[in-house]
Structure 1
Amino acid sequence: MIKYIIIVAVVLLALLAVGLFYRRKHNVIIARLEKEKLEVQHYPIYEELTKVKALNMNGQTEELFENWRNAWVEVTDVHVIKIDALLFDAEEYIDRFKFKKATEIEKAIEEKIEECEKTRLKILAELEELIGSEEKNRIEMEQLKEYHRSARKTVLAHQHSFGSALEKLEKRLEQFSPKFDEFDILTAEGNYLQAREIVLLLNTEAQEIFELLSDIPSLLSEVQTKIPTAIHELRMGQQEMEEQNYYLRHLELTEYLDRVEKELEELKKMIADLDIGKVKPRIDEINGEIDHFYDLLEKEVIAKKYVDHHCSPLRDTLQNLMVITREVSDEATYVQHSYRLPEKDAETPRNCLKQLEVLHRRYELLAMRVTEEKSAYSSLKEELEEISEELARVNEEQENFSLRLKNLRVDENTARTQLEALSKLLQETERMLGKANIPGIPEEMDVRLEEAEEQLFIVMQSLQETPLNMEQINSNLNNAKKCIEEVRAKAEEMIENVMYIERIIQYGNRYRASNPQMHVQLREAEDAFHQCRYIKALEDAAAAVESAEPGALKRVQELMQEEMALKS
């Protein structure tokens, strides 16, 4: 029984501790909310509102002041009292450990305080806007009036610069005065926010007027003077060039200039209506188009000079090249009796002649167009340049072919010289093998020597053919060269191996008496050596000496190098 009593007591104490913990937590929240409520309640909002008294307490200003004061009275006399009641209820629920209900009331209090804070911030923001509007209005309106006076002076002093746009500009400027009067009335009545709207409207209008005053004189200068002058110069230039037999119809310059002159009248009307938004970019476009036509006319002048200086010389070049190509063709026919030409090369002269005939026909048509004077010189220049480029390409092709013909004799002599050198090298290799102190020549080396001789024979046979096929001769020559150089390298390697084997066996003789196994191995190496199996002999001798004395092979190599150095 006592045990159960103790358990119940412990549970009750635990519940009490939890309850006290949550009550303390909620008391902290209530204290915070109480503090926030007092901050709202005692905020010096009326001191802020007294700033309005420096303004005209009429009209909109008086209405706003009353709205702000009533809104704050509602905060202090209604919302704050409700918050006090909610705080009292929350404290009661906390004391009675009804924490869930207390939490709901705490949330309601926070919402009320937040609503009061929003009201305070709204009042301060509107107050700041009103006071700021009054100061901005005063400063900006002085600037606008000064600008208006300056703009009117500019218009009066430079009336001729604005042309037909002057009347509408003056009307736009006259519209400022009624707005100035309306602003003064609204300000005197305390309607600062409405007055602010007028200031913003006049600022926009002033910016537009400023742009008009800045742009209209230059735009009128373009459409009335500069562009018409450029049009007149283009017409005169076109007339002078046509009198000099230039063909310019393809430019359609007259039609373009007529269209621009009509368009200039429309642009003048748009400027007179102060509608310059589309005028400025279009004038830039027209100036660009006029510059382009100047460039085209200049291009025709340059093209005429080019045609005058290159047309006749091109004819001479074409005729000379046709003569040279025919000579090369005759030479190729003669050369083919002695040398066989690849089919592609053999056709080169005929192909070049065909291309030259086509170019000759193109040139004749070009010369006819130049004489008729019914074609643009820029077009003639392009055709002339294309013919020149094609002519240069054909000339290069036939020159390369002619050079190849001349090189055939050189190639033949070179091939015979190389054949003689290879024959000499092979003979020297055979003499070197004959003089070498070796037991004999392995069968493999004999086969290589026979193959080298056969390759030389093939080259000699190809040099005796008629006509000579230099491509085949050079191919055979390369095969023979490769074969003989390999034979030479193998022969030198074999002689060097023989010397190496002899030195290794000589070095290993010192161990024969004391090392029977090594004696047997060296004997096998000697047998292979006398049978001309030099690779086998080298492997056996090297293995025997290295097993008896590790590093002996390196020592033998050093001794051989010293000996060869002394001989050299």
Structure 2
Amino acid sequence: MKYIIPAVIILLVIAIIAFIIRRKHSTEIDRLEYEKHQIQNKPILEEMTKVKQLNMNGQTEEMFERWRNTWTEVMDVHMPKIDSLLFDAEENRDRFIFGKATKVEKEIQTLISSCDDKMTGILKELEELIGSEEKNRIEMEQLKDQHRSARKTLLAHLHSFGDAVPALESKLESFNPQFDEFDQLTETGNYLSARELVISVQDEGQKFFHKLHDIPSLLSEIQHKIPASIHELRNGQKEMEEDSYYLQHLEMTKKLDALEEELSELKVAVVDLQVNKTMARVEEIKDEIETFYDLLEKEVLAKKYVDQHKNQTATRLKEVTTVTRATSEEAAYVQQSYRLPEKEAEIPQSCLKELEELEKKFDLLSTRVEEEQSAYSSLQEELNGIAEEIDRLYEEQDRFANRLKNLRIDENKAREKLDDLKSLLHETDRMLQKANIPGIPEEMDARLEEAEEHIYVAMQSLQEVPLNMTLVDNYLSKAEACMEEVHHKAKEMLENVQLTEKIIQYGNRYRASHPNVHMKLLEAEEAFRQLRYAKALEDAATAVEEVEPGALKKIEVLVKEDAWRT
């Protein structure tokens, strides 16, 4: 009994698996059956019937026969074979021969895919053929309409096309054989070849119709508008030269002659229907002509500028020269009292030399204006350059003049600063002398002497004649830095002395109970008497912090409060 139950379970599992696999094969067979019907239902015959309405000759007849043969082969040969294979697949499935069923299903799929590709290809070619016939007919009719319209336009406006008429008429005539060829291809059923011809004629036609549209305006530019502009430029050049303008540097006559020669060549190119290249060059010529107008206008504006600003520049040059001479004289007077750096002292004379050179340049420019042999645009640039140099020299000597004026102010400020430093030195010494301390450390005395020496050197530099303010400022800066450091160190030392005294006083409460504290406080007091205030502070603070951490901060707060009350 113990073997029967497991055997039954195993058989049951095998049966369930077999039925699951059978169901999968059933689904696959149904899918293949559906795809077969889809192929059979493709509207091949209906579409082929439409083809019979076309001219059944040439390409159309050949394609029709090929499609019919393919369709017949699929329906009469491949479909029955697929049906037979489907039957075999079903039989293998029912007999649970799943391996063989799978092999047959794959063979069916291959046949179905092949048939589907063939039928789809036929439909695609049918669509292309039928569509080509309709598109050919519509598009060729449009081309013929455009051709007729172009011929009417040409006949109605012969004068606008000038010598290009014969070439245009010849090109129009060249379309007629292509129209005839299209009709012949259509009549003989060669719709696909006709399609290729339509596309070719369309491309050729569009290019021609664009040329037909552009030629009148292009000829108008070449024959009338551009020559008129050239004539206007020549007259403008002549009038300006009669009015004392120098224009030889523009070489307008030579360039305009070259343009006129090129216009003749461009006209020939238009007659030969070389429209695109010619149109591009015509646009370039129009830009060149516009440039000539701009250049002439530039000369007119430049003459106006030179006439308006020449005398102003001359006046400005004289004014700046006068001011610079005055600055030079003032510098010579100031240098009796103040010593200037060599490079700075040379500024007035250097500016005067440059002004003399500018005066020569201006005189030469004035001569060129009178001789009327120079372009005003060039004269304007030169005049602007002279004006800019004048302004630069004025600013340079003006800064120098301000520097001279500030020397006396700087001297007074230096003397005031020196008095302040002497007062600070006296105040610091007095503060140390009045302080209730055992004495002043040698280091502090040395610092005070150093500060006093720096002040003395700065004071002596202020007694020199001529006075060198650069040197004075240097000595004064050193004295100020040294004095401020001494004052800060003195205040810091007195604060430390006061703090040390407070700490020792505070620590006295622990002397009896903490012998170690007593010893360290004795060391601090000894260092204090020896004027080693920093050492005394360190020893006293260490002693108190050992027995009462945080006591130092508390004492510092008390000292600051006492200082604030004082």
**Range of TM-score over shorter length:** 0.7 to 0.9
1:352-431 counterparts in 2 under 5 A?
A: 352-431=351-430
In structure 2, the residue corresponding to 1:277 is in which secondary structure?
helix
Flag the 1:319–1:34 CA change in 2: closer, same or farther, 3 A. closer
Q: Which amino acid aligns with 1:271?
A: V
Distance 1:251 1:437 in 2: 95
Aligned to 2:466: 467
Paired residue secondary structure (1:441): coil
After TM superposition, list the pairs within 5 Å mapping 1:94-105 onto structure 2.
Answer: none
> Residue 162 of structure 1 aligns with which residue?
161
RMSD: 3.8
Structure-1 residue corresponding to 2:271: 272
Residues 226-278 of structure 1 show CA distances to partners (whole Å, capped at 9, x for unaligned) of 21222122112111111111100110111111111222222222223322011
* Matched residue, 2:241: 242
TM-aligned CA deviation for residue 279 of structure 1: 1.4
How far apart, CA to CA, are the structure 2 residues paired with 1:141 and 1:329? Answer: 94
CA distance in 2, matches of 1:207, 1:194: 20
Aligned equivalents of 2:275 and 2:42: distance in 1?
56
Per-residue CA deviation, residues 423-474 of structure 1 (Å, 9 max, x unaligned), is 1111111111112222211111100111111111111221222222211111
How many angstroms apart in 2 are the aligned matches of 1:372 and 1:420?
Answer: 68
Matches of 1:509 and 1:274, distance apart in 2: 121
C-alpha displacement at 1:564, in angstroms? 2.9
User: Is 2:137 the partner of 1:130?
Assistant: no
Q: Does 1:485 align with 2:454?
A: no
Counterpart residue number, 1:519: 518
Measured after TM superposition, the shift of residue 289 of structure 1 is: 0.8
Q: Is the 8 A contact 1:522 1:540 kept in 2?
A: yes
Counterpart of 1:236, as a letter, is N
The CA deviation string for residues 200-251 of structure 1, in whole angstroms up to 9 with x for no partner, is: 2332233123312332232223223321222122112111111111100110
Check the 8 A contact 2:437/2:497 in 1, yes or no: yes
> 2:164, 2:43 → 1: CA distance?
58
Deviations 1:26-63 (A, max 9, x none): x99x9899978998799764454333112222333222
- How many residues align? The count is 547
- Give the aligned partner of residue 348 of structure 2: 349
Q: Deviations over 1:81-109 (max 9, x none)?
A: 9999999999xxxx9x9x9xx99x99999
Cα deviation 1:115-145 (Å, max 9, x = unaligned):
6665544433332221111111122233223
Q: Are the aligned partners of 1:33 and 1:109 in contact in 2 as well (CA < 8 Å)?
A: no
Distance, in Å, in 1 between the alignment partners of 2:336 and 2:387 is 35
Task: Report the TM-score when normalising by structure 1.
Answer: 0.84
Mapping 1:173-252, distance limit 5 Å: 173-252=172-251
CA gap 1:522/1:397 in 2 versus in 1, 3 angstroms: same
Separation in 2 of the partners of 1:32 and 1:266? 79
Whole-angstrom CA distance in 1 between matches of 2:474 and 2:409: 16
Measured in 1, the distance between the counterparts of 2:424 and 2:31 equals 115
Q: Deviations over 1:511-534 (max 9, x none)?
A: 233333222222222222222211
**How many angstroms does 1:147 deviate by?**
2.8
In the alignment, does 2:306 pair up with 1:307?
yes
Please state if 1:547 is matched with 2:528: no
Task: Check whether the contact 1:33–1:110 (CA below 8 A) recurs between aligned residues.
Answer: no
Give the equivalent residue in structure 1 for 2:563.
564
Q: Which residue is 1:65 aligned to?
A: 64
Alignment partners' CA distance in 2, 1:38 and 1:395: 103
Instruction: Indicate conservation of the 8 Å contact 2:32/2:109, yes or no.
Output: no
- 1:9 is matched with which residue? none
State the match for 2:457 in structure 1: 458
SS at match of 1:57: coil
8 Å Cα contact 2:32/2:108 also seen in 1 = no
Per-residue CA deviations over 1:286-339 (Å, capped at 9, x if unaligned) read 111111111111111111122112223323333343343333333333333322
Indicate the residue corresponding to 1:151 in structure 2.
Answer: 150
Give the secondary-structure state (helix, strand or coil) at the position aligned to 2:52: helix
**Is the Cα–Cα contact under 8 Å of residues 29 and 86 in structure 2 kept in the other structure?**
no
Unmatched 5+ stretches in structure 2: 1-17, 90-94
1:198 Cα deviation from its structure 2 partner:
3.1
Structure-2 separation of matches of 1:528 and 1:268:
114
Amino acid across the alignment from 1:462: S
- Give TM-score scaled by structure 2 length: 0.84
1:435 aligned partner: 434
Separation in 2, partners of 1:194, 1:560: 114
Match of 2:337? 338
Per the TM alignment, residue 376 of structure 1 is displaced from its structure 2 partner at its CA by: 0.6
> 3-state SS of the aligned residue for 1:278?
helix
Structure 2 counterpart of 1:16 = none
Query: Where in structure 1 are there 5+ consecutive unaligned residues?
Result: 1-19
Q: Does 1:284 align with 2:311?
A: no
Q: Specify the code of the residue in structure 2 equivalent to 1:365.
A: L
